[in-house]
Amino acid sequence: MKALSLTSLQRHFRAVWLPLAVLAAAVAATPAHALRIKEVAAVQGVRTNQLTGYGLVVGLDGTGDQTTQMPYTTQAMSNYLQQMGISLPPSAAGQLQLKNVAAVIITAQLPAFAQPGQMIDVNVSSMGNAKSLKGGTLITTPLRGADGEIYALAQGNLVVGGAGAAAGGSKVQINHLSAGRIPQGAQVERAVPTPLHEGDTITLGLNASDFQTARRVVQAINGKLGQGLATALDGRTVQVRAPSDPGARVGFIADLEELALESTAPSAKVVINARTGSVVLNQAVTLGPCAIAHGNLSITISSTPVVSQPNPLSQGQTVVTQKSEITINQEPGNVIQMPPSPQLADVVRALNSLGATPGDLLAILQAIKAAGALNAELEVI
């Protein structure tokens, strides 16, 4: 093997490390976890559309609707048979026992730019008293949009993610049996026109109303694609001049959505779910100095039956009365000083020091906000 001289070694290491240095510089120039425009905004007019329809699921194992209580199932089946060329007299139609049939509502999302012939997923939900849709088949059902026009046709075998068994009054059920899904169960029959190629501008709608984010989007577009292209109309809408040629416009939008944005601090917000007791705080929430006293009040009412027995030969009647006892227990609440908390970790540590349950924490946060010590917007859902 030929030995390398010192000069050759220097050239060798320079050739290896120079590309690595360039790559490291490129990685360092890319902001870590930088947001892109596609994460904070969407092109207006590029949206999904809701479709719905009414249909019948057949082939059930005796778990369908009870037709005596669900007359629309019998009516729908009679109409379907009539379309197939089978006419039933009114007396026979009213006596149908359709234990293997269930009336259902079908819903689907029509994606943007969906073209005739493409397949979409559908959800099927029982609208009657069917016990289970497992093993059923949806017969051809038109799916309509909000304008009443038919945009897709749904048909196929249901996939129900559950199981159930019953015998002798006992019943075992896993998951939900009265709703299912048909993957690729509907075929698009009509396309929805979109205004993507209309006019000489496109409009970006921000996911959340924020003037700072709107300004950052405008700065990113004008700085990378050309000055004067983007204009912020308000805190949620940005108008951008785009090429008129359809192909060039698509490429322009693709480049525009990949532009990186400088991260901005969100507005401080505390979201409270009163139904589940959940409390969520974002990183901008701060807490001012305050003092909190919290105690629990419990009221217990117990009722004991008391029998009043009359004396012998008094011709009285035995009477049962209720004796009630009410006990009120109020736990003392110590006054706790809450220091100012400039960071989210400090806020969490201060709230944990209270030792309150999630239900009590809801009331405490609302009281802190009313006192002016919670520097955040309080949203109750």
pLDDT, tens digit, 9 for 90 and up, residues 64-90: 888 677 788 888 888 888 888 888 777
Note whether residue 143 is domain-resident: yes
Over residues 231-254, mean pLDDT: 93
pLDDT attached to residue 328: 67
Amino acid letter for position 158: L
Q: ∠ at Cα 219 (214, 225), nearest 5°?
A: 120
DSSP string, 330-364: E----EEEE--B-SHHHHHHHHHTTT--HHHHHHH
H/E stretch holding 76: helix 71-83
Strand partners, 109: 50
Give me the percent of the chain exceeding a pLDDT of 70: 83
| 178 shares a domain with 58 | yes
Q: How far apart are CA 316 and CA 55, in angstroms?
A: 68
Most confident listed range (23-37, 218-232, 312-326, 351-365):
218-232
The length of the chain in residues reads: 381
| 221 shares a domain with 146 | no
Q: How far apart are CA 201 and CA 221, in angstroms?
A: 14
- Which pLDDT tens digit goes with each residue over 326-363? 776 666 666 777 778 777 777 777 777 777 777 778 88
Note whether residue 238 is domain-resident: yes
Over residues 141-154, mean pLDDT: 95
**CB distance 240 to 221 below 8 Å:** yes
Q: Quick check: 15 pLDDT over 70?
A: no
Note whether residue 123 is domain-resident: yes
| 370 shares a domain with 350 | yes
Q: Which residues contact 120 (CB under 8 A, 6 or more apart)?
A: 108, 109, 110, 111, 114, 152, 184, 185, 186, 188
Q: Which residues contact 163 (CB under 8 A, 6 or more apart)?
A: 134, 173, 174, 175, 177
| 205 shares a domain with 125 | no
pLDDT attached to residue 332: 66
Tell me the pLDDT of the chain averaged across its residues.
Answer: 81
| 64 shares a domain with 179 | yes
| 72 shares a domain with 178 | yes
pLDDT attached to residue 368: 85
Q: Which has the minimum average pLDDT: 173-187, 225-239, 278-292, 315-329?
A: 315-329
pLDDT attached to residue 335: 74
Strand partners, 286: 375
| 153 shares a domain with 112 | yes
| 182 shares a domain with 58 | yes
Note whether residue 374 is domain-resident: yes
| 284 shares a domain with 228 | no
Q: Quick check: 281 pLDDT over 60?
A: yes
Note whether residue 133 is domain-resident: yes
| 105 shares a domain with 177 | yes
pLDDT attached to residue 250: 93
pTM: 0.67
> What's the first-to-final CA gap in the chain, in angstroms?
75
pLDDT attached to residue 253: 93
Q: Count how many domains the chain has.
A: 3
Q: Quick check: 25 pLDDT over 50?
A: no
CA 98, 101, 107, 112 torsion-angle sign? negative
Give me the percent of the chain exceeding a pLDDT of 90: 36
Distances (CA, A) of 48 to 51, 111, 193, 259, 280: 10, 5, 12, 24, 29
Phi/psi region, residue 349 (left: phi>0; alpha: psi -120 to 50; beta: rest), is: alpha
**CB distance 213 to 46 below 8 Å:** no
Note whether residue 141 is domain-resident: yes
- Which pLDDT tens digit goes with each residue over 100-140? 899 999 999 999 999 999 999 999 999 988 889 999 999 99
Note whether residue 81 is domain-resident: yes
Q: What is the span of the domain harbouring residue 365?
A: 269-302+324-380
Q: Which has the minimum average pLDDT: 138-147, 281-290, 356-365?
A: 356-365
Note whether residue 3 is domain-resident: no
pLDDT band at 257 (very low <50, low <70, confident <90, very high): very high
pLDDT band at 92 (very low <50, low <70, confident <90, very high): low
| 373 shares a domain with 288 | yes
**Phi–psi pair at 222, nearest 5 degrees:** -65, -30
Distances (CA, A) of 3 to 6, 17, 145, 296: 10, 21, 78, 84
Question: Does residue 12 or residue 328 have the better pLDDT?
Answer: 328
| 54 shares a domain with 178 | yes
